[in-house]
Amino acid sequence: MLLGIDVGGTFTDAVVIKDGQVWASAKTPTTHGQLLRGIIMVIDKVLAGINQADVRRVALSTTIVTNALIEGEIDKVALLLLPGPGLNLEGLTPGEPHFLSGYTDHRGREKALPVKDEVSTVCRKIGGSKAAAVVGKFAVRNPAQERQVADWVQECLRPDHITVGAELSGSLNYLRRINSAYYNAAVWRIFTDFAAAIENAVAERGITAPVHILKADGGTLPLGAAQERPVEAIFTGPAASVLGIMALTNLTEPVISLDIGGTSTDIALWQNGVPLLATGGAVVNGYPTAVRSFWLSSVGIGGDSYVRRQGDKLLVGPMRRGPAMACGGPEPTVTDALRVAGMIEYGDQELARKAMLLVAAEGQTPDEAAGETLRAATHTVCKAVADMLSEQAARPVYKVEDIVHGTVFKPELVIGVGGAAKGLVPMVAQELSLPWQVPDGHMVANAIGAASSRPTTEITLRADSAEGYYTVPELGIKRPVDKQRFSLADAWAAAETHLAERAVAGGINETAPVSERIYEEEFNVIRGFTTIGKIMTCKLQLKPGVLVPVQAGRFGDE
């Protein structure tokens, strides 16, 4: 049995999946300020009548990190940077950066050494910080200086936690690694406390199964490994829904997915059965980070979106004034329009008609007002879809082949989940002239996604046989290679080994983990007229996805 929990803005959902079927589901109000209480409540509710010992894994999608950031409940971080020459970072990072000497260049060669006295001076100045982040430019090409400075910081400052930039992300982009590392260190304590509490609570209930945390890229990590990289547990709600879609359907064609909630619709584009990832990573608190995340566009249209008429214009969203009038709310909403249009069956029909009358133009019937409301809502969603499609078409590529023969993303299906999906998805699909699908179980797709998501991790192996070494920044590894013989095949073989090592170290011991090559680059290094080596980059991941396809079963019509 797989237990999945998704803490949302309004409700906390849980499901139990057995043999690919939703076995039980439960919903409780989210307990803001005391997340843990709501999570325990929903666990007790969903496991009523189920033998705890049968639970094989608990997976949790939680807002703990997101909330800590929104509410500013984050720690002060000592941010130590080795920027070398380049962009002036003053004012571009969160917190107050402290710039240190030391520089590693684009080939991973040390061009200037870090100075211990500088580090101890900075540590004296900022004494008292419990968390620190050390980030060096091009540390992904050679982690030595970053690690050296981290050791010095440990010695001088003795913080509870140090985040080292290249361990969070093996990709180029210093600015993003700085921002990732800063926020990782900033939420480390609150996440660690939360993890301990969850572990206790789960153990107290006699559940011995491992607890996994969902990440923004839709993979899970065992709680222990997640504590080293808590920033990745941001934005897991939308990721959970996306995973839910993956579990409930079996998509291979290019798809537009809509997760229509109370106040917003999250749009994702899918290719080859997986959603596209955000270029570079997620934006956290307005700062671009290297946190791997789905590429989602969020528009302010949902079931509870406030509908009103201003002059001769009908406006829908983005704000919410409460639930639908049909459900006892104060103001007209999209749900009221859906009720009047006969697209949903819950809520009071008469109250819904009253709501539509409030926004009707002169001479308009409630039915006509409902139609106009839904067209406006549909139009807003379709515009966001169109923007995403043109952004996708404009994504830069660096090869002639990709410009001349590159494929254009052409969606073939609209798929939707969430409260108002049944009503809005067909209308959006019609405007886009595409077929649509709302899978059974769509109301708890988020919790299904959390329950069934696979653990993932990834590594970047960059080999520079001319310099005679390879690095795996996520693991802090730099190893010599044979300058003459080391080939791309060798690089991939080494990458497989290191990925397996990383998985085991992180507590991922799936029976048959499937690795997937996500990036490959190979260049000849030529000096004079002689090839003196190759520069190769291999990115390998444990393939994200679902442990089992899921059937909604008797909970499908909820």
Partner 1 sequence: MNNKKLGLVFFPAFDWAITPSHPEREERLLYTRDQIVEEGLLDLPAIREYRPKLATIQDAQRVHIGVPDIASLITDAHLVSAGGAITAAEAVMRREVTNAFALVRPPGHHAMRVVHGTRGFCTINIEAIMVEYLRRHYGLNKIAIVDTDVHHGDGTQDIFYHDPDTLFISFHQDGRTLYPGTGAVAELGSPSALCSTVNIPLPPGTTDAGLHYVLDNLVLPVLEDFRPDIIINSAGQDNHYSDPLANMAITAQGYARLAEKLNADIAVLEGGYSIEEALPYVNTGIILAMAGLDYSRVVEPDIARCPRQSEDNTRYIAQLVGKWQEIWGERETLRREAIAQAGDFWQRRRSIYYDDSGIQERQSETVRICPHCLGYQTVSTQAEGHSFGVKSAFAAIIPRNSCNACRTQAQDALYKAKKENSHDHYFLQDKEMDVLQQI
Question: Between 51 and 88, whose beta carbon lies closer to partner 1?
Answer: 88
What are the tokens at 47? 């496991």
d(CA 217, CA 205) in angstroms, rounded, equals 29
Residue whose pair of structure tokens reads 């001319």 in the numeric block? 466
d(CA 219, CA 217) in angstroms, rounded, equals 6
Question: Between 72 and 91, whose beta carbon lies closer to partner 1?
Answer: 91
396 binds partner 1 (CB under 8 A): yes
C-alpha dist (Å) from residue 469 to 162, 486, 526, 537 = 27, 9, 17, 12
The residue within the footprint of partner 1, chosen from 273, 482, 526, 558 (CB under 8 A), is 526
Question: Minimum distance between the CB of residue 100 and partner 1, rounded to whole angstroms?
Answer: 14
- Among 418, 344, 331, 330, smallest CA distance to 374 is for 344
| Contact track, partner 1, 107-136, x by CB under 8 A | x---xx------------------------
d(CA 91, CA 93) in angstroms, rounded, equals 6
Order of all β-strands in the sheet with 530-542:
477-480, 469-472, 458-464, 530-542, 515-527
389 binds partner 1 (CB under 8 A): no
φ and ψ at residue 215, rounded to 5 degrees:
-110, 170
Question: Between 88 and 407, whose beta carbon lies closer to partner 1?
Answer: 88
The residue within the footprint of partner 1, chosen from 70, 203, 403, 514 (CB under 8 A), is 403
d(CA 116, CA 136) in angstroms, rounded, equals 15
Question: Between 309 and 478, whose beta carbon lies closer to partner 1?
Answer: 478
Rounded to 10 degrees, the C-alpha dihedral 214/219/220/224 comes to: -100
Q: How many CA atoms lie within 13 A of 368 on its CB side?
A: 6
81 binds partner 1 (CB under 8 A): no
d(CA 374, CA 340) in angstroms, rounded, equals 11
- Binding range to partner 1, per CB under 8 A, among 17-25, 82-90, 149-157, 184-192: 82-90
| Contact track, partner 1, 174-193, x by CB under 8 A | xxx-----------------
| Contact track, partner 1, 265-284, x by CB under 8 A | ---------------x----
Question: Minimum distance between the CB of residue 395 and partner 1, rounded to whole angstroms?
Answer: 7
Question: Minimum distance between the CB of residue 539 and partner 1, rounded to whole angstroms?
Answer: 14
Q: How many residues bind partner 1 (CB under 8 A)?
A: 42
Would you say the C-alpha torsion 378, 383, 388, 393 has a positive or negative sign? positive
| Contact track, partner 1, 286-305, x by CB under 8 A | --x-----------------
The residue within the footprint of partner 1, chosen from 310, 398, 489, 557 (CB under 8 A), is 398
d(CA 428, CA 271) in angstroms, rounded, equals 19
C-alpha dist (Å) from residue 472 to 291, 459, 462, 494, 534 = 17, 7, 7, 10, 16
Question: Between 92 and 319, whose beta carbon lies closer to partner 1?
Answer: 92
408 binds partner 1 (CB under 8 A): no
The residue within the footprint of partner 1, chosen from 228, 525, 543, 553 (CB under 8 A), is 525
Question: Between 48 and 400, whose beta carbon lies closer to partner 1?
Answer: 400
87 binds partner 1 (CB under 8 A): yes
208 binds partner 1 (CB under 8 A): no
Question: Minimum distance between the CB of residue 93 and partner 1, rounded to whole angstroms?
Answer: 10
Determine the residue type at 416: G
Question: Between 174 and 191, whose beta carbon lies closer to partner 1?
Answer: 174
Q: How many CA atoms lie within 13 A of 128 on its CB side?
A: 3
Residues that bind partner 1 (CB under 8 A): 83-88, 90, 92, 103, 105-107, 111-112, 137-138, 172-176, 280, 288, 394-401, 403-404, 521, 523-526, 529-531, 535
